[in-house]
Amino acid sequence: MNYSADLKWDAKYDVVVIGFGGAGATAARYAAKQDRKVLLVDAAPEGSEGGNTRFAAGAFATAVDVDKAKDYYLQSFAPFDHDEATLNSFVYELTQLTTYAEADFGLKAHQSGMHKRPEYYEFDHADAMIHQSMTTLYDGSFWKLLRQGVYDQLDKIDVWYDSPAQHLIQDPQTKTILGVQIEHQGQLRNIAAKNGVVMSSGGYENNPEMVQTFLGRGALAPIGTLYNQGKGIDLAVEAGARLWHMANFDSHAFSLNEGRAHEQFAYMIQWKSLFTGSVFIAGDDGTRYLNEQCEDRHGFQYNHGDYVMLPNQNHPHIVMDQAEYDQLQQDTSPKADQIKQVISYAVKADTLADLADKIKAPRLAQAVADFNFFSAQGRDYVADRPAETIRQFGDGPYYAIAIRHNILHTHGGARRNGQCEVLDLAGNVIPHLYEAGELGDPFATKYIGGSSVADLLISGRLAGLNAAKPKSAAIDLDAVTSPSLAGEALRSDAQATTPTFETAANQYIGVANQGMGDLPITVRVTVDGDQMTDIETMQAAETPTIGGAAMPKLRAAMLKANTYDVDVISGASATSKGYRNAVKDALKQAKKLG
């Protein structure tokens, strides 16, 4: 959107940040720390912001030796090109992350314990990479830490939810980005940005057209946020930016296929007991096309000396015989509960021909015959699955479970330099435009675990600091200096509140920051002597059908066992951890039970 002299500004800020995920939260926080007035907007409604950071484990890659870490990343990029300055900046900042963690959050980073070895342990200097975290994993606490960093500075940061950016506003002569047009409360608002605009709106994994165009793939199931719809790509193109890394994405191989926007059981390729015995994954025609016992690396699997993203099938299935089905019903592995849920979705047929008809896989019978031959020979000639994990199919009935290839996030976006400035087609900086997070991150191919979380902290920090630096604007950006002065419609959606809850003499409040909702899980526990007699949920914002459904079950189990230490609810582990820790906190207050 070109600026013209008759354009009317609705409000003016020093910095506008597009996208309230981990990178956007970090950029806004750092810009505000420079005493700048910031507008932070997100297309998602309140409670659904956070991008993929909301779903992330919260661990991040770090290193001590710059040269070794750089060489490790270069090996992961090969044979793709890279930008030297951008990579140098990223790797240097990687070595500083633990220092920033302590300075910014007062938390000492520690080894996450998430991986036994580096993702590409075959690479030179793999042992130079350190996987660390500031919070506990997979319970939402990392996202809440970053979100709280924004809420701690609401005197300088205004937040608009459900407010998608529609266009950047650009000086047609100098190409300087002067502001953003944002749809807010049903109206288009022209918001001036005196010093800079940060694009941190995530990838395009929820945009089927872009997935087809840039990835050449069809039926991919998003397993993170549903709000990464590629708007940042459109904004970058409008501004004349050069795109890069558009074909790079990562995943966790498969999810259950129920035809939903957000599918379940994204990690099943890593459940080894699910794929031990008379079971394999059938492609569209019923034939096998991968090693079901593969060492999956964020969707990248071994292929003739390299690790490549799985080939995409449009309607793959897990296929098994009755012996396997019975075996899985009795499974005792750590994933037993999830496995039993997965096989409950199986369709059944008495013969392979009938099953092939049901799942539209005409070559299924031949695939089973081949699989049986491999088992008899003691070698899997198609996919090199370990012989001890293969058992011949027996007589029917047979079962098939519909699955989908999934996608966690994409990496493509505008090309950025080492200071997170966006570059145009000629490699020149587009003035006042910055980028952070998954949108245009520096990863050319292959994904190294923890790198995206590291990058959101690094690029968010650099983009926020650089966007906050005073600029000499070529155009007068006179406008009201805050939405609060422009009318009720433009006020910030975020308000800092600290609720209080009444307690009787034998009641205690417990609070935990784990859980997927944005509010801390808060409970009130009533005790009588050494016995818990009641647990009340005073505050929570968990998903009603998942975490919300789990909390009553946890409450009943805790009251029956008279302890917080009960089993987590399958599929709601983050909420379970939060609820248990909240009750534990209350009992600690009571100093009577534990």
- The count of C-alpha atoms lying within 13 angstroms of the C-alpha of 113, restricted to the half-sphere facing its C-beta, is 6
User: Using CA atoms, how far apart are residues 516 and 527, in angstroms rounded to an integer?
Assistant: 28
Are 243 and 259 in a shared domain? no
Are 102 and 233 in a shared domain? yes
DSSP for 489-505, written as a single string: GGS-S-----------T
pLDDT of residue 138: 87
Please report whether residue 496 resides in a domain. Answer: no
* Predicted confidence (pLDDT) per residue in 369-387, tens digit: 999 999 999 999 999 999 9
- Is there a contact between 288 and 382 (Cβ–Cβ < 8 Å)? yes
Among 490, 534, 386, 547, smallest CA distance to 160 is for: 490
Distances (CA, A) of 325 to 338, 390, 392, 393: 14, 14, 14, 11
- The count of C-alpha atoms lying within 13 angstroms of the C-alpha of 415, restricted to the half-sphere facing its C-beta, is 18
pLDDT of residue 513: 84
Please give the structure tokens belonging to residue 567.
């089993």
Q: Select from 405, 426, 448 the last residue of a domain.
A: 405
DSSP for 182-197, written as a single string: EEETTEEEEEEEEEEE
Bond before 79 cis per omega within 30 degrees = yes
- Averaged over 271-281, what is the pLDDT? 97
**CATH (domain of 182):** 3.50.50.60
Q: How confident is the model at residue 485 (pLDDT cuts 50, 70, 90)?
A: low
* pLDDT-wise least confident of 27-36, 237-246, 479-488, 534-543: 479-488
Name residue 200's beta-bridge partners.
none
Q: Select from 437, 456, 490 the last residue of a domain.
A: 490
Are 94 and 239 in a shared domain? yes
Please report whether residue 2 resides in a domain. Answer: no
User: Using CA atoms, how far apart are residues 592 and 588, in angstroms rounded to an integer?
Assistant: 7
Burial of 155 by CB count in 10 Å (0-12 exposed, 13-18 middle, 19+ buried)? exposed
Among 152, 169, 181, 192, smallest CA distance to 482 is for: 192
Name residue 59's beta-bridge partners.
133
pLDDT of residue 479: 64
pTM for this predicted structure: 0.91
Are 285 and 356 in a shared domain? yes
Please report whether residue 111 resides in a domain. Answer: yes
Instruction: State how many domains the chain has.
Output: 3
Are 220 and 270 in a shared domain? no
* pLDDT-wise least confident of 287-291, 306-310, 415-419: 306-310
Please report whether residue 498 resides in a domain. Answer: no
User: Using CA atoms, how far apart are residues 495 and 164, in angstroms rounded to an integer?
Assistant: 20
- Averaged over 566-581, what is the pLDDT? 88
State the helix-helix crossing angle for 84-94 and 451-468, rounded to 10 degrees: 100
Q: Label each residue of 163-176 as H, E or C.
A: CCEEEEEECCCCCC
The secondary structure of residue 245, as a DSSP letter, is: -
Q: How confident is the model at residue 517 (pLDDT cuts 50, 70, 90)?
A: confident
Please report whether residue 282 resides in a domain. Answer: yes
pLDDT of residue 450: 94
State the helix-helix crossing angle for 141-151 and 97-105, rounded to 10 degrees: 60
Collapsed DSSP state (helix, strand, coil) of residue 278: coil
Are 241 and 331 in a shared domain? no
Are 464 and 585 in a shared domain? no
Please report whether residue 501 resides in a domain. Answer: no
User: Using CA atoms, how far apart are residues 563 and 476, in angstroms rounded to an integer?
Assistant: 64
Q: Which amino acid is at 46?
A: E
Please report whether residue 226 resides in a domain. Answer: yes
Are 26 and 169 in a shared domain? yes
Among 181, 199, 126, 221, smallest CA distance to 10 is for: 181
Please report whether residue 117 resides in a domain. Answer: yes
> Rounded to 5 degrees, what angle do the CA atoms 345, 571, 46 make?
115
Are 175 and 278 in a shared domain? no
The sheet with strand 59-63 has its strands ordered as 59-63, 129-133, 110-111
Q: How confident is the model at residue 594 (pLDDT cuts 50, 70, 90)?
A: very low
Are 47 and 169 in a shared domain? yes
* Predicted confidence (pLDDT) per residue in 387-444, tens digit: 999 999 999 899 999 999 999 999 999 999 999 999 999 999 999 999 999 999 999 9
Among 246, 244, 232, smallest CA distance to 168 is for: 232
* Predicted confidence (pLDDT) per residue in 23-49, tens digit: 999 999 999 999 999 999 999 999 999
**CATH (domain of 514):** 3.90.1010.20
Q: Select from 389, 405, 421 the last residue of a domain.
A: 405
* Predicted confidence (pLDDT) per residue in 175-229, tens digit: 999 999 999 999 999 999 999 999 999 999 999 999 999 999 987 999 999 999 9
Domain range for 459 is 11-249+409-490
* pLDDT-wise least confident of 352-361, 485-494, 542-551, 553-562: 485-494
Are 184 and 313 in a shared domain? no
Are 316 and 215 in a shared domain? no
